[in-house]
């Protein structure tokens, strides 16, 4: 099943206006909010702050990509359920409907004393409040033998964009009976069920196009999200195709060789045809440039997502160390709404509502075989804490699983509308 393409590119004039707007001088009585990162957290925050603070708050969104491709549902593209263009969304609606100053550039530095963000172009953008939603970067050396320079040979495909296209092309070019290997990441990482949904979608593709191929998972973790659901699904749909090697079987001691296209597991060399390396992760680089991390992530207050280092900076989504919420697009979107309300209230003397959060992560195992896990959350002094939770169960009917998949499609359309329209 393929959803309709939802990219909003607009006219050249609209894009030109969006780029030029940050250079126009603003009245000093208008508060300035700068948002870095145009994904689920940043785009949502920019939209809600501009909407609810209209006339009182200037919003600038800094995002290098003109078209944002969601990382979530990229696995369904690998499986053939989505087209690549289905994942792409533009920023014209934010610029034209909400008056957001959209700047397509890289944010490379933050001067917290001067309250400015430095851009790769050499420009500087002032702020009264700063929102950072930069997603993830990778931990150097977390996968022996691999570095970002090797991502062409062994793609990670764990950020939205062309990496997932590269991975799909490599899978499609596998020889008959070849081997796809995935190096799973250590905790914590973006989208806990994501690597295992990916295995499911690659298995779906291979079953239809290369049925004698094999899948090898090298996993440094003892267990993973929705493990019983995935393993049950793999046994039902892809029997004999998937092998997982956990730390008890040598998965904690491995290295890769991109030039030789090998994976060495506990001293045993495995020749593979495709190797998808998902490294260890940390907050996006701009959080480190701002000096607000604990060495890996950016600690925040659960009440409003403000940095525990600098209250004028808010951190959303994957980059935040906030407590019990998983790192997901749904989480980032939920956190952005809480943060937007707090920022607008602070800058306009408005009402700040108590923080309430929610998350659901859907995964597709095979055609119409969808599963989910989720929870609701509230704020505490220690961090965001879970109030209640739910998860799909092994043995659910085909009707329930199909309904869960349809629910995920509805959510995708809803969240991208919430971000960009």
Give the domain CATH number at 256: 3.50.50.60
- pLDDT at position 218 over 70: yes
Average pLDDT, stretch 17-41?
69
Q: Please check whether residue 370 lies inside any domain of the structure.
A: no
Residue 119 lies in a domain: yes
Strands 101-103 and 57-62: parallel
pLDDT digits (tens, 9 = 90+) for 117-173: 999 999 999 999 999 999 999 999 999 999 999 999 999 999 989 999 999 999 999
User: pLDDT grade, residue 19 (50/70/90)?
Assistant: very low
pLDDT of residue 250: 84
- Please tell me whether residues 236 and 168 are part of one structural domain: yes
pTM of this structure: 0.92
Report the pLDDT value the prediction gives residue 121, as an integer from 0 to 100.
Answer: 97
Where does a domain end: 226, 253, 277?
277
In the chain, how many domains are there?
A: 2
Q: Report CA 269 to chain centroid distance, whole Å.
A: 32
- Which of 277, 303, 322 finishes a domain? 277
Confidence band of 28 (pLDDT split at 50, 70, 90): low
User: Which residues constitute the domain of residue 344?
Assistant: 12-135+284-351
Of 351, 386, 410, which marks where a domain is finished? 351
- The length of the chain is 421
Same domain, 297 and 320: yes
Contacts of 406 (CB under 8 A, 6+ apart): 370
Predicted local distance difference test score (pLDDT) of residue 24? 35
Average pLDDT over residues 360-367: 98
In this prediction, residue 251 carries a pLDDT of 84
Residues 193 and 265 placed together within one structural domain of the fold: yes
* pLDDT confidence of residue 20: 40
Query: Does residue 330 sit within a domain?
Result: yes
Least confident of 21-30, 42-51, 96-105, 209-218: 21-30
Give the residues across from 380 on adjacent strands.
Answer: 383
């Amino acid at each position: 099943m393929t959803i309709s393409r939802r990219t909003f590119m607009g006219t050249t004039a609209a894009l030109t206006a969006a780029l030029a707007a940050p250079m126009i001088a603003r009245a000093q009585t208008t508060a300035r909010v700068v948002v870095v990162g145009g994904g689920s957290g940043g785009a949502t925050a920019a939209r809600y702050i501009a909407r609810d603070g209209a006339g009182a708050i200037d919003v600038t969104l800094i995002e290098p990509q003109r078209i944002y491709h969601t990382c979530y549902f990229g696995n369904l593209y690998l499986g053939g359920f989505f087209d690549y263009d289905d994942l792409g969304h533009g920023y014209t609606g934010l610029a034209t409907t909400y008056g957001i100053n959209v700047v397509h550039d890289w944010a490379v530095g933050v001067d917290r004393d001067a309250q400015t963000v430095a851009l790769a172009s050499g420009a500087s953008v002032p702020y009264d409040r700063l929102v950072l939603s930069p997603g993830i970067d990778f931990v150097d050396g977390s996968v022996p033998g691999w570095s970002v320079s090797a991502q062409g040979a062994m793609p990670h495909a764990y950020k939205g964009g062309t990496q997932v296209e590269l991975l799909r092309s490599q899978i499609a070019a596998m020889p008959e009976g070849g081997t796809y290997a995935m190096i799973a990441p250590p905790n914590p990482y973006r989208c806990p069920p994501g690597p295992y949904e990916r295995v499911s979608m690659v298995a779906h593709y291979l079953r239809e196009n290369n049925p004698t191929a094999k899948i090898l998972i090298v996993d440094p973790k003892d267990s993973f999200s929705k493990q019983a659901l995935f393993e049950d699904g793999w046994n039902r749909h892809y029997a004999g195709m998937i092998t997982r090697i956990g730390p008890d079987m040598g998965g904690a001691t491995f290295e890769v060789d991109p030039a030789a296209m090998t994976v060495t597991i506990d001293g045993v060399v495995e020749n593979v045809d495709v190797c998808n390396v998902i490294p260890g992760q940390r907050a996006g680089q701009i959080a480190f440039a701002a000096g607000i991390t604990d060495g890996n992530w950016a600690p925040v207050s659960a009440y409003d997502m403000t940095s525990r280092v600098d209250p004028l900076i808010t951190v959303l989504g994957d980059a935040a160390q906030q407590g019990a919420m998983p790192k997901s697009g749904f989480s980032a979107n939920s956190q952005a709404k809480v943060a937007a309300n707090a920022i607008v209230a602070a800058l306009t003397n408005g009402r700040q509502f108590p923080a309430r959060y929610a998350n659901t992560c859907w995964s597709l195992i095979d055609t119409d075989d969808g599963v989910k896990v989720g929870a609701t959350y509230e704020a505490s002094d220690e961090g965001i804490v879970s109030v209640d939770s739910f998860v799909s169960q092994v043995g659910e009917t085909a009707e329930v699983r199909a309904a869960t998949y349809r629910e995920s499609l509805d959510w995708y359309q809803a969240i991208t509308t919430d971000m960009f329209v």
